[in-house]
A and B are shown apart, each in its own frame.
Chain A
Amino acid sequence: MPRPGFVLEVDRATPPTLFWHGESFRLERLPRGSRILYPPEPLNAIEDVRGAIEAALDHPVGEAQPLSSLLNPNMSLTIAFDDVSLPLPQMTAPDIRSLVIEAVLERAAEAGVTDVVLIAALALHRRMTESELRHALGNRVYNALAPRGQLTQHDAEDKQNMTVVGETDRGELVELNRRAVESDLLVYVNINLVSMDGGHKSVATGLASYDSIKFHHNVDTMVHSRSFMDRHNSELHSSNWRMGHVIKDAGVKIFQIETTLNTATFPESFRFLSRREWEWNLRDRASFIAASEALKKTPPHLARQIFQSVRSPYGVTGITAGEVEAVHERTLERVYQQQLVRVDGQSDILTLGLPFIGPYNVNSIMNPILVYCLGLGYLFNMYRNKPLVRKGGVVILSHPTRPEFDPAFHPSYVDFFDQVLTETTDPLVIESKYEESFARDPWYIHLYRTGNAYHGVHPFYMWYWGAHALDHLGGVIILGGDPKATRRLGFQSASTMADALEMARSIVGSDPSITHLHSPPLVMADVY
């Protein structure tokens, strides 16, 4: 029986706490009385995953027919799937998507369906590389479909293959991938790693164009998504749900398959990362010391390669198929069951150790803008009810924040950092003054469409992701952050935790309460 998450209060006997610090770690002693929020242990995984998939396809939830009854030889079938941004890190083979898609394809073959196309639901993310596709889909699926052109990746800038489905009652444009919405059936295969994923967002965002996405990916929406991890209090999701209804009303038939994973994030060799420090045995200590000493001597780009090759032994906790909203409610229950921990009261300071990976730097570099987004977008928003830190409080992020960029995956990030952040860090100004020119830039569009680059507008979304946190907080400090890059982000850097806390005290007062979110593995705070 896995133990639930809990909140530890630091006392004299508490050993130093492990902080993620990019491609390395820090051990920090937090002041007595600080709280540390530990994630629940991984839930037990389903043993017969294939059986669970079959069951889900045969017994859909909500107003839905079993998959087989929806298939016939003359139909067109499109299977869309979540891209490389999920899960993090990539899971050990076989990826759950490959198992689900194989099952769906088998049913289709049995029914004699020949017009089948797979679409990677990229939205404005970068195209996946061949090896990433092979990993997500499995070699069998890849080899069967790719050579015949049946494996495609969504291209939001291919206007000929986009179609306007309609408009919501608030005037939000719904423009989606033509093949997906004009098929007789659209099957969407998702991985719901965190509670923001899935539901109507899968199709309404994953297969949409910039002109459509901009209605919910903007500063105003993000400031009113509290948090965007809590779908019922998230304006981002409300907009996607409105769009979902437009899609449904337009007669697009969607068969949604959502899967959830437990938090078995690290392989045996990195076991200490998932354990509570005072429970480390000799082997955990030894491997921690070995790992940190080795990393100290490894150049950053090699350390990155080592970490990026980590595969997570995730276990599948559930698979649900059927009508989008009914499916998603069950999915959220399972996600919350795995990740939610009750916390009483906010604190003045929240500390976060940022790991080497976020959704947008798989096989790549976590540049300063992604550091900002991971800290103030993702981890800050891992809450329900109230943020872990009070209004006007301080967040301390631990990450080297080196001014390093991947010019192939993140070309517009480089220019965003050099040309936009040097002028302003105010999300509203950035949005009104610069977004359009980056979004419509032909060079970025060329790289998005033919290379593996994120869309030109993507760094703006990263900046909007943190808008709620910027609005809420009194200060942000990056522990161990490159001073110049940190200043460019509009924050202060500190070289030691003691310095960081001292700087934070000047904002929140001399005797602050402190909470540390001990993550990853993922944990979501339910704050009362």
Chain B
Amino acid sequence: MLKTALSDKTIFVTGATGFLGTALVETVLRVLPSTNLVLLIRPGRNVTAQARAGKDLFRNNCFDRLRQDWGTDRFQEEITRRVQIAAGDVGTDGLGLDQHGQQLLANSDIVVHSAATVSFDAMFDQAVEINLLGPTRVMHAYQAARVDCPDPGHFVSVSTAYVAGSRKGDAPELALRDQPHYPEISWRLEVDAARAQRTSTEASSREPETLAELRALAMAELGSAGVALLSEKIERLRADWVKDEMVAKGRARAQSLGWPDAYAMTKALGERLLESERSNVPLSIVRPSIIESALRDPYPGWIRGFRMAEPIIISFARGLLKDFPGVPEGVVDVIPVDLVVGAILVAAANPPQATKYYHAASGSLNPLKYRQLVSLIRRYFSEHPLYDEIGQAIAIPEWTYPARGQVESTLRRSKRIVDTSTKIISKLPLRSNFVDYQDQLAETQQGLERAGSYVELYGAYAECEAIYLADNLMELAARISDDERDSIALDPHLIDWESFVLGTHLPSVVEHARARTRPKSSAPKRNSREDRLRASLLTGHRLAAFDLENTILAANVVDSFSWLATASVEGGHKLAIAASLLAEAPQLLKLDNHDRSDFLRYFYRRYRGAELQELERRAPEFLTGYLLRKSFPLGLARVRAHRRAGHYTLCITGALSFAVAPMAPLFDQMLSLEMTTDADGRLTGEVPGALPIGEARADVLRKVAKIHGYTIEETIAYADSTSDLPMLEAAGAAVAVNPDTKLRQLARRRGWLIEEWSRSKGYGNLFLPIGRQL
């Protein structure tokens, strides 16, 4: 039936690179040999629509089966012959089609519109543009293209079962306005309001108060990392803020009208608009529920992208989500993707007189109960547990089916505790000792954030107790001829939930999530990720740039000043100098946190009047008594390892040249600060030029790399603090040495190597070093 009905027809598909679209294209190619396709694809910034189709669509593993059955040559030949690409965008009126594109659209017998923003946390205005206005834009373009054509064609629009709203009880396959309790609202007012809200939100994100808050957030994360990085961060935070606001506004509006979120609401209004604008074009609306991995085709378990249920399942298996709101007797309406494709194609082959609705949903015909799903998930992960960081199997929590508010408040409470701990820890100048604890905390924090967002996003869906009736769908199913039943399916009765969940869906989800499914090998560990990273840094054509203080030495400018100042005075005065520095410490620390350049300039004034020659005379003692005993032997060894590997080693420091000169031979080049002297050879306390701090340090790295013939990708930066972020970010590879809490979190996120280097054991730890004769 299907083959004949659709033979020699051309189907115009939007959203072909999406989950559903991909499966649709594959099925047409595989099952309907004489049906052709036109795919509407949005060109990328640097890539044509044609190229995108190759990359984002046909390379997907969905087509593995065809490639295997046909061989690569025939596969290519079929695509070239049967698939045409129209460059365009559903977000633009007229779809942005050129003449050729319009011609293709005009020649299409059927349009399947499956482009949508499926994310449940889409911004309100975006959801409006795409979900509400999108279908009608496609419809209008179709009508315009076929204005001279006597056959009105056929328009199949993919909607969602959740347009029915957060209702309880039966939801029939009818137009929304024919359903009871449907809110009578004007789509136009909603569109205008959403657009206005975008404008006002963008504006208020630029208010000084908001910017000040965002700035404080950025400072808290980055510290004194320099203007460029800071402003970049603030701008990113502002965009996130706008997004969050727009999502929240959308959700609030949708829930005020009885939809779980803006997605369902805009889809619903989109349907209504489409109905009123279709004029004489037959319209089929397919409303799938939650689309999940394939039951049979192209192969059991095929899935694309990380979808709604997967992150929840994985969070649960990882022990992060201890519970999820829902009613145990309730129905979880899940539908495998191939059954939705079947419904679309059979609907496409059977144009209605005017408008017809189909629920691609399992709830009324072959319901999966929430309790059953949970017990299947529990069973699966008890038999195939995931493993944590250190290789222990993760125990599956007991599910208690709480109400949503309960889960949310528990999560909020845990998160508040963790947030506070993190905040306190990041304010303390802690290093290595607390590393493990801090890492755990960071992970828990992320986990809780994610779990919280799932509950917020999907909780409303889990509480939907609507039953989506599917009489029209079954009518379609009856039209499939017996010889086609092997290749096309749409009947939810085909699903055996137990075998689908345990044997097909969960294995596919776990594989997709790249979760750890095996305990760590108990064989002695030879090559950890760190070791491999470390080894890779020591190969190739490289320039290694090192910060000095706290990266190679546990020294700082206050310390070294104290040593030098006290070395040249007698007994009691030594203590006096040390004591005055101690008393000033809090103020110095504050200044340093605020702006490193200001701090250095302020502090270096203290050297005014000192004799340079005298300081230089003390260099050997300074080397033995201070610099080396403060050094990190592993750090020195690393610099030397780079040199042995033939790399160019560079030290960039904000320290004064006479205070670090004895360390200079360790490197190929050392860039330190020169303080000017007066006519008598006394230091002036002034350092001309810009200090190599923050962005300036990154610029120095770029410059030196260029002079010595290295690309920026060939550079490696070693540094210890967020004030070195610009250099770390600029370099081809970054290593965070003894990072503080902030840098550690950033380094983990970016996958940088983290080194814990410490001083040689055996010496006590003086807070302020006092120079003494050796």
**B-binding residues in A (CB < 8 A):** 127, 129-132, 299-302, 304, 365, 367, 402-409, 411, 414-415, 418-419, 441-443, 446-447, 450-453
Which A-B residue pairs are the 4 nearest by beta carbons? Answer: A404-B762, A129-B774, A408-B628, A452-B624
Q: Which of B588-624 contact A (CB under 8 A)?
A: 619-621, 623-624
A-B CB contact pairs (8 Å), 11 listed: A129-B621, A131-B774, A300-B762, A405-B761, A406-B763, A407-B629, A415-B637, A418-B633, A418-B634, A441-B640, A451-B624
* B662 is an interface residue with CB less than 8 A from chain A: yes
Q: A365-B762, A452-B774 are in contact. Are A408 and B623 (CB under 8 A)?
A: yes
Interface residue from B624, B634, B665, B774 paired with A446 (Cβ < 8 Å): B665
Q: In the complex, A302 Cα to B764 Cα: how many Å?
A: 8
- Is A130 in contact with B624, judged by CB distance below 8 angstroms? no
A407 / chain B contacts, CB cutoff of 8 Å: 628-629, 631, 633, 636, 759-760
Q: In the complex, A300 Cα to B665 Cα: how many Å?
A: 33
Query: In the complex, how many angstroms separate the beta carbon of B622 from the nearest chain A beta carbon?
Result: 9
Given contacts A365-B762, A411-B628, 6 further A-B contacts (CB under 8 A): A404-B762, A407-B636, A408-B625, A408-B629, A414-B760, A451-B623
A451 / chain B contacts, CB cutoff of 8 Å: 620, 623-624, 628, 662
- Is B762 in contact with A301, judged by CB distance below 8 angstroms? yes
Query: In the complex, how many angstroms separate the beta carbon of A472 from the nearest chain B beta carbon?
Result: 31
Q: In the complex, A411 Cα to B636 Cα: how many Å?
A: 10
Q: In the complex, A90 Cα to B520 Cα: how many Å?
A: 56
* B773 is an interface residue with CB less than 8 A from chain A: yes
Q: A301-B763, A402-B761, A452-B620 are in contact. Are A443 and B633 (CB under 8 A)?
A: no
- Is A408 in contact with B761, judged by CB distance below 8 angstroms? no
Q: In the complex, A405 Cα to B623 Cα: how many Å?
A: 16
B624 / chain A contacts, CB cutoff of 8 Å: 129, 408-409, 451-453
Interface residue from B619, B637, B760, B764 paired with A405 (Cβ < 8 Å): B760
Q: In the complex, A400 Cα to B64 Cα: how many Å?
A: 65
B760 / chain A contacts, CB cutoff of 8 Å: 404-407, 414
Query: In the complex, how many angstroms separate the beta carbon of B618 from the nearest chain A beta carbon?
Result: 11
Q: In the complex, A409 Cα to B762 Cα: how many Å?
A: 13
B762 / chain A contacts, CB cutoff of 8 Å: 300-301, 304, 365, 367, 402, 404-406
A132 / chain B contacts, CB cutoff of 8 Å: 774
Query: In the complex, how many angstroms separate the beta carbon of B589 from the nearest chain A beta carbon?
Result: 27
Interface residue from A365, A414, A442, A450 paired with B633 (Cβ < 8 Å): A414
- Is B764 in contact with A301, judged by CB distance below 8 angstroms? yes
A419 / chain B contacts, CB cutoff of 8 Å: 637
- Is A450 in contact with B623, judged by CB distance below 8 angstroms? yes
Q: In the complex, A402 Cα to B763 Cα: how many Å?
A: 12
Among A299, A300, A302, A447, the most chain B Cβ lie within 10 Å of the Cβ of A447
Query: In the complex, how many angstroms separate the beta carbon of B330 from the nearest chain A beta carbon?
Result: 59
Query: In the complex, how many angstroms separate the beta carbon of B338 from the nearest chain A beta carbon?
Result: 58
* B666 is an interface residue with CB less than 8 A from chain A: yes
Q: In the complex, A1 Cα to B335 Cα: how many Å?
A: 107
Chain A's closest residue to B634 (CB) is: A418
Q: A450-B619, A450-B620 are in contact. Are A131 and B773 (CB under 8 A)?
A: yes
Among B620, B625, B662, the most chain A Cβ lie within 10 Å of the Cβ of B620
- Is A450 in contact with B637, judged by CB distance below 8 angstroms? no
Q: In the complex, A129 Cα to B774 Cα: how many Å?
A: 5
Chain B's closest residue to A302 (CB) is: B764
Q: In the complex, A405 Cα to B640 Cα: how many Å?
A: 19
Q: A129-B624, A301-B762, A443-B640 are in contact. Are A406 and B662 (CB under 8 A)?
A: no
B631-668 vs A, Cβ < 8 Å mask (1 yes, 0 no) = 10110110010000000000000000000001001100
Query: In the complex, how many angstroms separate the beta carbon of B267 from the nearest chain A beta carbon?
Result: 64
Q: A403-B761, A405-B762 are in contact. Are A130 and B774 (CB under 8 A)?
A: yes
Query: In the complex, how many angstroms separate the beta carbon of B166 from the nearest chain A beta carbon?
Result: 63
A301 / chain B contacts, CB cutoff of 8 Å: 762-764
Q: Which of B539-581 contact A (CB under 8 A)?
A: none
Chain B's closest residue to A299 (CB) is: B764
Q: In the complex, A132 Cα to B625 Cα: how many Å?
A: 14
A450 / chain B contacts, CB cutoff of 8 Å: 619-620, 623, 662
Query: In the complex, how many angstroms separate the beta carbon of B674 from the nearest chain A beta carbon?
Result: 20
Q: In the complex, A407 Cα to B634 Cα: how many Å?
A: 11
Query: In the complex, how many angstroms separate the beta carbon of A114 from the nearest chain B beta carbon?
Result: 26
Query: In the complex, how many angstroms separate the beta carbon of B243 from the nearest chain A beta carbon?
Result: 50
A299 / chain B contacts, CB cutoff of 8 Å: 764
Q: In the complex, A443 Cα to B635 Cα: how many Å?
A: 14
Chain B's closest residue to A409 (CB) is: B624
Interface residue from A130, A304, A411, A441 paired with B773 (Cβ < 8 Å): A130
Q: In the complex, A130 Cα to B621 Cα: how many Å?
A: 9
Q: In the complex, A415 Cα to B641 Cα: how many Å?
A: 11
Among B621, B624, B637, B662, the most chain A Cβ lie within 10 Å of the Cβ of B624
Chain B's closest residue to A452 (CB) is: B624
Q: A129-B774, A131-B773, A450-B662 are in contact. Are A404 and B620 (CB under 8 A)?
A: no
Q: In the complex, A148 Cα to B620 Cα: how many Å?
A: 18
- Is B629 in contact with A415, judged by CB distance below 8 angstroms? no
Q: In the complex, A26 Cα to B761 Cα: how many Å?
A: 23
B636 / chain A contacts, CB cutoff of 8 Å: 407, 411, 443
A446 / chain B contacts, CB cutoff of 8 Å: 665
A405 / chain B contacts, CB cutoff of 8 Å: 633, 760-762
Q: In the complex, A452 Cα to B640 Cα: how many Å?
A: 20
- Is B774 in contact with A406, judged by CB distance below 8 angstroms? no
Q: In the complex, A142 Cα to B634 Cα: how many Å?
A: 38
B666 / chain A contacts, CB cutoff of 8 Å: 443
Q: In the complex, A459 Cα to B434 Cα: how many Å?
A: 35
B761 / chain A contacts, CB cutoff of 8 Å: 402-405
Query: In the complex, how many angstroms separate the beta carbon of B748 from the nearest chain A beta carbon?
Result: 26
Chain B's closest residue to A445 (CB) is: B665
Q: In the complex, A130 Cα to B636 Cα: how many Å?
A: 26
Q: In the complex, A227 Cα to B337 Cα: how many Å?
A: 86
Interface residue from B621, B629, B634, B764 paired with A406 (Cβ < 8 Å): B629
Q: In the complex, A453 Cα to B762 Cα: how many Å?
A: 17
Q: A407-B760, A451-B620 are in contact. Are A415 and B628 (CB under 8 A)?
A: no
- Is B637 in contact with A418, judged by CB distance below 8 angstroms? yes
Chain A's closest residue to B622 (CB) is: A451
B623 / chain A contacts, CB cutoff of 8 Å: 408, 447, 450-451
Query: In the complex, how many angstroms separate the beta carbon of B552 from the nearest chain A beta carbon?
Result: 11
B640 / chain A contacts, CB cutoff of 8 Å: 441, 443
B620 / chain A contacts, CB cutoff of 8 Å: 127, 450-452
Chain B's closest residue to A405 (CB) is: B760
B665 / chain A contacts, CB cutoff of 8 Å: 442-443, 446
A415 / chain B contacts, CB cutoff of 8 Å: 633, 637
Chain B's closest residue to A363 (CB) is: B774
Among A131, A300, A418, A451, the most chain B Cβ lie within 10 Å of the Cβ of A451
A404 / chain B contacts, CB cutoff of 8 Å: 760-762
Query: In the complex, how many angstroms separate the beta carbon of B254 from the nearest chain A beta carbon?
Result: 63
Q: In the complex, A130 Cα to B618 Cα: how many Å?
A: 11
Query: In the complex, how many angstroms separate the beta carbon of A481 from the nearest chain B beta carbon?
Result: 15
Q: In the complex, A365 Cα to B629 Cα: how many Å?
A: 12
A367 / chain B contacts, CB cutoff of 8 Å: 762
Query: In the complex, how many angstroms separate the beta carbon of A376 from the nearest chain B beta carbon?
Result: 22
Query: In the complex, how many angstroms separate the beta carbon of B644 from the nearest chain A beta carbon?
Result: 8
A409 / chain B contacts, CB cutoff of 8 Å: 624
Query: In the complex, how many angstroms separate the beta carbon of A436 from the nearest chain B beta carbon?
Result: 13
Chain B's closest residue to A364 (CB) is: B762
A129 / chain B contacts, CB cutoff of 8 Å: 621, 624, 773-774
Query: In the complex, how many angstroms separate the beta carbon of B710 from the nearest chain A beta carbon?
Result: 22
Q: In the complex, A238 Cα to B762 Cα: how many Å?
A: 39
A411 / chain B contacts, CB cutoff of 8 Å: 628, 633, 636
A418 / chain B contacts, CB cutoff of 8 Å: 633-634, 637
Q: In the complex, A453 Cα to B662 Cα: how many Å?
A: 13
A127 / chain B contacts, CB cutoff of 8 Å: 620
Query: In the complex, how many angstroms separate the beta carbon of A146 from the nearest chain B beta carbon?
Result: 12
Query: In the complex, how many angstroms separate the beta carbon of A117 from the nearest chain B beta carbon?
Result: 20
Q: In the complex, A406 Cα to B774 Cα: how many Å?
A: 14
B763 / chain A contacts, CB cutoff of 8 Å: 301, 406
